[in-house]
Structure 1
């Protein structure tokens, strides 16, 4: 099936419009987080790291995300949902010491425009990359959602690198435990064990699978969670010995109410404890969707809840919403703040 193509003229106009819009946006103060505006890197370019996650390594934070192409189109022949997408540009990486000022380290897992059969061809889909470090192998391991344009492939992809800034070597994709893998994340526990958390069974059920010692394959040990409840966009963190999982419902690009669950172990029973968001627009997660929860180094019991505010008709201009996550009466709470500082 041939996909819609934009003319060079319309692409140029789109780039100009976005750049003009980005330049008009207020920039972040060096010590503040301001959600929903265009965030620029240290060279003044808009940060392009969507659906991402952050890894802390050797006193530096590394933010990995989807590097979106500069034009968005809809696949009209996909009728099951609003299939808006941009060309897959690979996985980007930004580094920071303070979580506010970010340096572009490049596209650490590039797309492969020369190979139309590759998972990483721009016509395909690369989503929600997450990276963890393996202390035994000394490798940085990336997992991501690998998809066909119509979102029916539902594979997990894996790549490794000797450095957090790549380049990452792609190892291929597969269906973990023989089932679909769509929205996904990784979690590395204090004991060094790592888990792959992913929406499966056509997004109806969330799987949690134990990874092997190299973090590159599943062990076959897994659990099925929230069966037939259709949860996606998982984000996992640990607090005072308990495990927490924030996810969204399945409404395509449009926001919905978030949900949090808690368990005594990653492969244990998960108990739903409600929406962690409070206040105005909490019922649509502040017009955004979960992607990661980051424990901040050096600040005990301080977490950042990371969300994406998707712009489905101009995906490169999707914004980032980062808010402090605290605990009240034993439950995680996220509240909107126009701006906040560490």
Structure 2
């Protein structure tokens, strides 16, 4: 998406030299020592400096809270049109207050080895990390596309570490649930056949898609997995939620007890709905999903859904965003919902404002989620802090 580049605040233009420096600062994710400051609020869409006065580089990210510290894992982007490729890997930042972040380095690095899954130049997107108390391992999953193969691989990949900040050890990539049918399928559905040459987007094709055309197509090799997130339920069961079937259907898949593989139990969510960028939360024993449509790097209207069970049935709730800019999710796309520790009913909507021409300059849109009539609501705020959760009206 193309978005006007905002300027840094509190920079005094004293001369032609300082004007040039100002212009440079506006186009660069790095900042001078003089701009280093302590953050005490969120400013969605603005440059967000880490403790080294460098714009945070953790795109498409997710956050793990562990032993009193938040850890933000995200894609390390580089400058220029090739910056969406994984030339460095997946980075990690830490914070105790959510405003101020320390760069902990690269948690999982791409490698020089030719032909390796995570060879430099591959695509490593939307990393999420969860902790397994039984094994004592930190488990990372992310969307993987092989180098110079576009988005045809549609795989998910897993890595593990003994330390929260890494380095993570890469295990493998795969397409989930090979040789498995969705849990809701009847014997008749498992044995159904489809015409192989249906024209895309015709009513006949869409009806076949909803019945499982692509599930059957990918049955042997495993189901496609692109945009993804992880969710650990109250009982410790972990789930991998991903865009599948050529981004036309979301799948919710159960992970094994060590979180490093799939059990084969999964369900399809909104077949043909064209959803990606899933994010999920649980509130009052109710599950809420926030996702986006599929428009490439361009923003679109978010959508939401609710269910009393992770397995559904899921009911669509519409766009959770309200007000000016809501029709484009405030020029961003969802990536994660962060529960704020130590606060009741406090959730942060995390989204990315993509800049494909210069990915390193991508911006973060963090906004509070409130609930009205048991539906999630996201409103734009230029500046805000966690005190909003103290004053909001909570509808139980």
Whether these two folds match at TM > 0.5 is yes
Q: State the TM-score, normalized to the length of structure 1.
A: 0.89
Cα distance in structure 2, aligned partners of 1:28 and 1:309 = 23
**Shift in Å, 1:46:** 1.3
Q: Which moved more, 1:16-25 or 1:239-248?
A: 16-25
Q: Residues 162-177 of structure 1: matches in 2 within 5 Å?
A: 162-177=162-177
Contact residue 247 and residue 276 of structure 2 kept, 8 A: yes
What corresponds to 1:291 in structure 2?
335
Q: Determine the C-alpha separation between the residues in 1 that align with 2:350 and 2:128.
A: 13
The CA distance in 2 between the partners of 1:30 and 1:201, in whole Å, is 42
Which is strand-richer, 1 or 2?
Answer: 1
Give me the whole-angstrom Cα distance separating, in 2, the residues matched to 1:27 and 1:261. Answer: 40
- Aligned equivalents of 2:27 and 2:326: distance in 1? 31
Which residue number corresponds to residue 157 of structure 1?
Answer: 157
Q: Name the residue aligned to 2:141.
A: 143
Q: TM-score, normalised by structure 2?
A: 0.77
Q: 5 Å matches for 1:295-306?
A: 295-306=339-350
Q: 1:199 aligns with which of 236, 243, 246?
A: 243
CA distance in structure 2 between the aligned counterparts of 1:223 and 1:318, rounded to whole angstroms: 33
Aligned length in residues: 316
How far apart, CA to CA, are the structure 1 residues paired with 2:166 and 2:315? 38
Which stretches in structure 2 are left out of the alignment for 5+ residues?
1-22, 178-221, 387-396
SS class of match (1:283): helix
Match in the other structure for 1:219: 263
2:115 and 2:372 map into 1 onto residues whose CA distance is 50
**Superposition CA RMSD, Å:** 1.8
Tell me how far apart the structure 1 counterparts of residues 94 and 320 of structure 2 sit (CA, whole Å): 28
Q: CA deviation at 1:27?
A: 7.2
For residues 217 and 288 of structure 1, what CA distance do their matches in structure 2 show?
31
Counterpart position of 2:62: 53
Q: For each residue in 1:79-108, what CA deviation from the matched residue of structure 2 results, as whole angstroms up to 9, or x when unmatched? A: xxxxx8344321100000000100000001
In the TM superposition, residue 17 of structure 1 has moved relative to its aligned partner by 5.2
Deviations 1:185-232 (A, max 9, x none): 000001000000000010011000000000000000000111011100
Question: Aligned partners of 1:93 and 1:164: how far apart in 2?
Answer: 9
Contact 1:253–1:312 at 8 Å: present in 2 too? yes
Match of 1:10 in 2: none
2:196 counterpart residue number: none
Within a 5 Å distance, the mapping from 1:1-342 to structure 2 comes to 21-22=28-29, 23=31, 30-73=39-82, 85-112=84-111, 114-148=112-146, 149=148, 150-177=150-177, 178-342=222-386
Pair 1:19–1:126, CA change in 2 (3 A): farther
Where does the alignment leave 5 or more consecutive residues of structure 1 unmatched?
Answer: 1-15, 74-83
Greater shift, 329-338 or 29-38, is seen at 29-38
Residues 70 and 86, structure 1, Cα contact 8 Å, conserved in 2: no
- Answer whether contact 1:72 1:86 (CA < 8 A) is retained: no
